[in-house]
Amino acid sequence: MNATIYHNPACGTSRNTLALIRHAGIEPTVIEYLRQPPSRERLIELIAAAGLGTREALRQKGTPYAELGLDDPSLSDDQLLDAMMADPVLINRPFVTTPLGTRLCRPSEVVLDILPAVTRPFAKEDGEVVIDQDGRRVR
């Protein structure tokens, strides 16, 4: 199976998502989106394929979200996309695509919805168990 992750190596959620993909036996295409942001068209595709609205794909924490006034509900999707294209740190992460779908993987275990069944135990880097010793997803 092929997979692509729009990744930020400084983000724990993104690192855990990448680790889960690799734990499933998949070596994904890794796009460090702060260095290589998706095109506007690709970002629109990712958001739509994940079943999100543009505002849901906008990252608030650790970004200039508030200072740019992006919390203004009157801003259009085009205006929000303009902000994300101007400053990719505003794109929430990690987005992952596989033949089984596209997800914004927050929390990281959301990626399991679009991977083949993973039955080996897995814990996040903070020790939180995602797949238990019996191969069951912990929710």
Kindly list the catalytic residues: 11
The candidate with the shortest Cα–Cα distance to 87, out of 46, 45, 33, is 33
User: Which two three-digit tokens encode residue 99?
Assistant: 């033949």
User: Which two three-digit tokens encode residue 139?
Assistant: 């929710």
> Rounded to the nearest 10 degrees, what angle do helices 77-86 and 40-49 cross at?
120
